Amino acid sequence: MKKTSCVRVTGPLEAHVPGYRRELARRGYSPWTALFHMQLLAHVSRWLSQNGVEPAEFDQRRAEQFLADRCADGYVRFRSPRGLMPLLEYFRGRGVVPEPVPSVPTDPCAKLLEEFVGYLFTERGLAEPTVVGYRWVAASFLSTCPCEGNGDGLANLTAVEVNAFLLAECARRSVGSANNVVVALRALLRFMYLNGHVPTPLADAVPWVATWRDGGRSRALTASQVAALLAGCDRRSTAGRRDFAILTVLARLGLRAAEVASLTLDDFDWRIGEVVVAGKGNRRDRLPLPTDVGEAVADYCRRGRPHNSCRVLFLHVRAPYTAMSSSAVSDVVLRASARAGIAPVRAHQLRHSTASAMRRAGAPLFEIGQVLRHHHTVTTAIYAKDDLDALAGLARPWPGDWS
């Protein structure tokens, strides 16, 4: 098998070959993949030399020019900015090539979006995933608004345009998704009024989505379905041990997918048996660490988790070994449901299952709310509303004759 040392690098990046080779090994790349990355490094170094470009001048524009030349030369690998990113991240981190210069928005709507994002972070204190969702809704709405010139067109914005956008969005969304749009839109309009972009408080003109919080049955899984999800993990493999640990954390602690993705090695206090969870609103709460959860996580850390400098608990099983996103955590549950032969399951359904299991065991709602970290008991009741035996005790006897 070829080794990375077989790649001959000439040009201005030659001195960085040993360090980059160690970086590829640290990231966990296989020998063949590391070989391809070293070949890319050799090509970049040759290109810099042939074009008289210093590494400190290899900015975003020059990187795009390099990729265009690479495609024209007939290369089949690393032809996109994504393929060049590991190399750029390494050399930017060491000050060899310049950092990308953030583009300054010139469009009035783009400037307004950046101001809105800053407002959400600083004034509202929202978490980054929430801000990303709000920004997407804001961008969609502003694309329908008159932002020409210096943005004075927003001063003529009325409730008619707001409701027209909302009706168009709600027509193609579920109730929950439409409610998310309403919340984000109200936040944007409130911000626009406070900062003088619109003369009237249009947020009051946005109607709330009609929802029935207690309607329908719970989305919780049965105990046998949860057991099937866990049993489907091949704990002899690295991916199986990781997936088993993720599913155990979700099912026993009732965490959200984003909370599981944000867990770090430093969040676990093994001596006193507690785990710190970073929840909504930048809250950090301590939860007891059940024995089975601790065993699953410890087994993954000992025999499945890559050994690198990343402190995030759950990592991808293929190089580069980086932190999993919340969608990747939910995909773990989705694949587990397919292996178990049950209907598709997402991560949040296991949060419902945790509440229902605690309720069936006799736990009162306020204790379930403490585990789920709810502010209001009425919110917890949504997660535990399928306790039919408890509800039957509240039902009044039917006065009629069923015969």
Question: Which tens digit of pLDDT belongs to each residue from 81-139?
Answer: 989 999 999 999 999 999 887 666 667 778 888 899 999 988 888 878 888 899 999 99
Task: Find tokens 């988790």 and name the residue.
Answer: 305
The answer to whether the beta carbons of residues 113 and 122 sit under 8 Å apart is no
Which residue is associated with the tokens 């839109």?
185
Q: What is the pLDDT of residue 56?
A: 93
pLDDT value of position 280: 78
pLDDT at res. 395: 55
d(CA 305, CA 316): 9
Tens of pLDDT, residues 301-334: 999 998 888 899 999 998 888 899 999 999 999 9
37 is catalytic: no
Q: Specify whether the CB–CB gap between 350 and 333 falls below 8 A.
A: yes
CATH of domain 108-205: 1.10.150.130
Point out the catalytic residue in the list 16, 62, 242, 256.
256
293: left (phi over 0), alpha (psi -120 to 50) or beta: alpha
The helix-helix angle for 108-122 and 175-194 (nearest 10°) equals 100
pLDDT at 150: 46
Q: 109: part of which helix (H) or strand (E)?
A: helix 108-122
Quote the pTM value. Answer: 0.74
The yes-or-no answer on residue 43 being catalytic is: no
Respond yes or no: is residue 348 known to be catalytic. yes
Q: How far apart are CA 284 and CA 394, in angstroms?
A: 37
Residue 104 DSSP class: P
Within the chain, which residues score under 70 in pLDDT? 1-5, 102-106, 146-153, 210-218, 281, 384-403
256 is catalytic: yes
- Domain layout of the chain by residue ranges: 4-93, 108-205, 223-390
pLDDT confidence of residue 147: 61
Residue 285 · residue 333 · CB < 8 Å: no
Q: Which of 342, 316, 346, 328 is nearest to 232 (CA)?
A: 342
Torsion 212-214-215-219 (CA) sign = positive
376 is annotated as an active-site residue: no
Q: Please report the pLDDT score of residue 393 as a whole number.
A: 52
CATH class, range 223-390: mainly alpha
Peptide bond into 81 cis (omega under 30): no
Residues 6+ apart with CB under 8 A from 368: 355, 358, 359, 380, 383, 384
Asked about 280 being catalytic, the answer comes back as yes
Amino acid at position 316, single letter: H
Check residue 146 and give its pLDDT.
Answer: 66
